[in-house]
């Protein structure tokens, strides 16, 4: 007969799971070099209908664990708001849009816990708020951390590039006010140059992240492969499915843009749905192999 556990017992049990995951993190870092050049999995071709199915399944995962997921993902818009306030407080108005747009570059890293929740649900495992932290127990955790650092580096490069574009167009002096900044952008030739060049650069950065990470994080969670294998597999997925992956990129970009208005609040819903959906997209483009057990 099942018994009802009191909150203290349940909390201690969850902390033990988290502690065990953290203790394995150090070993995982040393595991990265050992798994370099590991065998690459096969990739499959998909259609637009597969994207729709992945989104529907992602929405299903979100609906099943809504409270857990929202609790986890509220961190994402909170960080976005802090970055926004930091830029505004530092009179760095030209970086407000790059921060809002470029913050999505680290989205795949922020969603790693969501991939783990979908993986556990798929295998019939127990799901709780601590499930997202089980990524620390993944054999390829070191590679996951390194790929995350790569995305952070790309994000910082994007900010530096955006600042340089502003300096070459409307700068180098900061705008006197938000109103003056908006007027300069939309009523001057230099402002329109900033818009077009900035959008072009942003597209290139977003494309780079999409190519190297569209399935990399889910693959590293699911199988014990090397970082080079995960990135290479992601690139092969894009090469085999240029049309559907391009559409997927547009869907993600549009959803994140809508979720960022106003003040990143919508990301509390958008991010978990996209994160779960990305797991199901991975399942469609990378056939099942020697997956990690629950």
In this prediction, residue 157 carries a pLDDT of: 93
Q: At residue 40, does pLDDT exceed 70?
A: yes
- Asked, for residue 37, whether it belongs to a domain, the answer is no
Choose between 34 and 59: higher pLDDT. Answer: 59
Q: Which of 272, 255, 254 has its CA nearest to residue 75?
A: 272
Q: Which residues span the domain enclosing 119?
A: 13-32+43-158+212-285
- Any domain includes 197: no
> Could you tell me what percent of the chain has a pLDDT over 90?
39
The pLDDT of residue 234 is 96
Q: If you average pLDDT over residues 155-184, what whole number do you get?
A: 88
Q: Please provide the average confidence, as pLDDT, over all residues in the chain.
A: 81
Band the pLDDT of 56: cuts 50, 70, 90. very high
Question: With 60 as the cut, is the pLDDT of residue 294 above it?
Answer: no
Question: What pTM, to 2 d.p., does this model score?
Answer: 0.80
Q: How confident is the model over 98-150, as pLDDT tens digits?
A: 887 887 788 888 888 888 888 888 888 777 666 777 777 777 888 898 999 99
Domain count, the chain: 1
Instruction: Give residue 1's pLDDT.
Output: 44
Torsion of CA 55, 56, 59, 64, to 10 degrees: -140
Residue 180 covered by a domain: no
pLDDT at 291: 59
Question: Is residue 51 a part of any domain in this protein?
Answer: yes
Residue 38 within a domain: no
**129 in Cβ contact with 10 (< 8 Å):** no
Mean pLDDT, rounded, for 85-95: 67
> Does 256 fall in a domain?
yes
Q: Is 293 part of any domain?
A: no
In a domain, 243, yes or no: yes
């Amino acid at each position: 007969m099942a018994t009802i556990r009191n909150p203290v017992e349940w909390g201690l049990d969850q902390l033990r799971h988290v502690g065990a995951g953290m203790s394995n993190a150090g070993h995982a870092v040393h595991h990265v070099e050992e798994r370099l050049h590991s065998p690459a999995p096969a990739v499959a071709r998909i259609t637009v209908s597969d994207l729709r199915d992945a989104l529907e399944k992602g929405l299903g995962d979100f609906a099943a664990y809504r409270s857990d997921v929202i609790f986890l993902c509220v961190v994402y818009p909170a960080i976005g708001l802090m970055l926004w306030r930091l830029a505004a407080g530092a009179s760095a108005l030209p970086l407000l849009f790059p921060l809002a747009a470029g913050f999505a570059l680290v989205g795949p890293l922020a969603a790693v816990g969501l991939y783990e929740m979908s993986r556990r649900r798929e295998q019939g495992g127990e799901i709780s708020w601590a499930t997202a932290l089980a990524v620390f127990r993944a054999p390829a955790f070191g590679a996951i951390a390194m790929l995350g650092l790569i995305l952070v580096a790309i994000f910082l490069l994007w900010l530096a590039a955006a600042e340089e574009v502003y300096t070459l167009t409307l700068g180098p002096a900061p705008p006197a006010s938000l109103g003056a900044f908006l007027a300069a952008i939309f009523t001057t030739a230099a402002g329109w140059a900033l818009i077009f060049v900035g959008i072009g650069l942003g597209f290139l950065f977003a494309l780079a992240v999409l190519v190297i990470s569209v399935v990399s994080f889910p693959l590293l969670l699911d199988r014990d492969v090397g970082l080079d294998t995960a990135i290479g597999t992601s690139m092969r997925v894009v090469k085999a499915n240029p049309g559907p992956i391009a559409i997927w990129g547009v869907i993600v970009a549009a959803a994140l843009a809508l979720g960022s208005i106003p003040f990143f609040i919508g990301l509390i819903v958008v991010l978990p749905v996209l994160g779960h959906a990305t797991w199901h997209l991975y399942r469609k483009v990378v056939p099942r192999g020697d997956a990690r057990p629950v």
